[in-house]
Structure 1
Amino acid sequence: MKRISLALAAAPVLLAVPLAAPLVAQQDQSELSRVNAYIRAVTSMTADFSQTDRNGQTLTGQLTLKQPGKIRFQYQKGVPLLIVGDGKALTMIDYEVRQVQRWPIGNSPLGALLDPNKDLSKYGKVVPTGDPSILSVEARDPKRPEYGTITMIFRRDAASPAGLQLYGWVALDSQNNRTAIRLSNQRYGVPVADSAFRWTDPRPKGRSAGG
């Protein structure tokens, strides 16, 4: 960002800032409302995803989403990981070491994307991108910073729900672990059975979760 010299700032420019601020705020609220409309309009979606972590490692797979709160990250063949959201909690299953971790969806950055009842105007903000075709929104709970931050990236597309196409997101958890997701081949409104969000418990004497 270029630093502006105060010595060169003319008075009319300084006076114009307060006048422009309400307009910018109004535009931002409109954009946040549009993202809310998108989240509420997407009852189901499938997409291919590419996931890159803070170390630069990239994995691919298939994403399945069904509102409210259901999501599945099916990783590429040979990767013994599975992440499933059943509407209440997110579960990460590592089949290689037979480990299962589970936490409430609301405690995850993904909660902003998976809860149609949340109001982004209360905990989201528009992030300037410099590209009018791209809308970026950062969401975090100021009262719960330990839940992390998600920055959702949309392309404007008149043929997509609410005129937006979810391009991907960047999640940052409380330990500063950064994960970037990029989507492609998005399909909206496709039939998705609830059985897609079940998983097999790999732990000794485990059982099939969710039936």
Structure 2
Amino acid sequence: MKRIVAPLMLVLASAPLVIPTVPATAQQNQSDLSRVNAYIRAVTTMTADFSQTDRNGQTLTGKLTLKQPGKIRFQYQKGVPLLIVGDGKALTVIDYEVRQVQRWPIGNSPLGALIDPSKDLSKFGKVIPTDDPSILSVQARDPKRPEFGTITMIFKRDAASPAGLQLYGWVALDSQNNRTAVRLTNQRYGVPVDNNAFRWTDPRPRGRSAGG
């Protein structure tokens, strides 16, 4: 089978989705960062459809499930033998085709900026100006750990959504400049999500179940 786009790009980091064009005041930037913090803390659960496009233009789709704090699942479309699960402590990438499991602390990935309500974006995030006032773009990276890459979260201002924001998606850029864009649709907030959603089956010899 042809090797599928590396799933690590989904969780490693990001680059701006839009080209900065409009200056913003420091006060406005701080207000926007506070609003994103409020959004992350307000979202207890969320489900959405996602499409993931790599730098070669290959696109995969699937279902995202999120439950704070720290639990997230990327279930890829049928026929894609990949699964990404965050159990509250670590992110795990399971490749069922080659029976490989990779696992690392959530704190080692900028995706933690989205699924860790205790983080303060004002300490490691910045607003990326856009030419569309309805779009809020926030980039998060650890300057002390550039190998973790960066993640730029894209929000649409929406009074009906948590903290007045709707998560539109994000863009990831790892330390090797591999770029992956993720777009969300059909977002639903506050839906019941069982903790079993963050369990997975270990494909390695003597396979076993694992979970959050």
Contact 1:90 1:103 in 2 (8 A): yes
Structure 2 counterpart of 1:199: 200
Contact 1:170 1:180 in 2 (8 A): yes
Structure 1 consecutive aligned stretches of length 4 or more whose deviation exceeds 4 Å: none
User: Secondary structure of 2:47's match?
Assistant: strand
| RMSD (CA atoms) | 1.4
Structure 2 counterpart of 1:36: 37
| Counterpart residue type for residue 140 of structure 1 | R
Structure 2 counterpart of 1:58: 59
Structure 2 counterpart of 1:84: 85
Structure 1 counterpart of 2:108: 107
- Offset from partner CA, 1:63-92 (integer Å, 9 cap, x none): 000000000000000000000000011100
Alpha-carbon deviation of 1:174?
2.0
| Counterpart residue type for residue 204 of structure 1 | P
- Offset from partner CA, 1:136-176 (integer Å, 9 cap, x none): 00011111111110000000000000000000000112222
Structure 1-normalised TM-score?
Answer: 0.88
**Is 1:93 aligned with 2:114?**
no
| Counterpart residue type for residue 145 of structure 1 | P
| Counterpart residue type for residue 49 of structure 2 | D
User: Secondary structure of 2:37's match?
Assistant: helix
User: C-alpha separation between the residues in 1 aligned to 2:57 and 2:88?
Assistant: 30
Alpha-carbon deviation of 1:206?
1.8
Alpha-carbon deviation of 1:198?
0.3
User: Whose RCO is larger (CA < 8 A, sep 6+)?
Assistant: 2
| Counterpart residue type for residue 27 of structure 1 | Q
Structure 1 unaligned blocks of 5 or more: 2-20
User: C-alpha separation between the residues in 1 aligned to 2:198 and 2:157?
Assistant: 29
**Is 1:149 aligned with 2:150?**
yes
- Offset from partner CA, 1:73-116 (integer Å, 9 cap, x none): 00000000000000011100010111111111111120110110
Structure 2-normalised TM-score?
Answer: 0.87
User: Secondary structure of 2:25's match?
Assistant: helix
| Counterpart residue type for residue 47 of structure 2 | T
Structure 2 counterpart of 1:186: 187
User: Secondary structure of 2:155's match?
Assistant: strand
Structure 2 unaligned blocks of 5 or more: 1-18
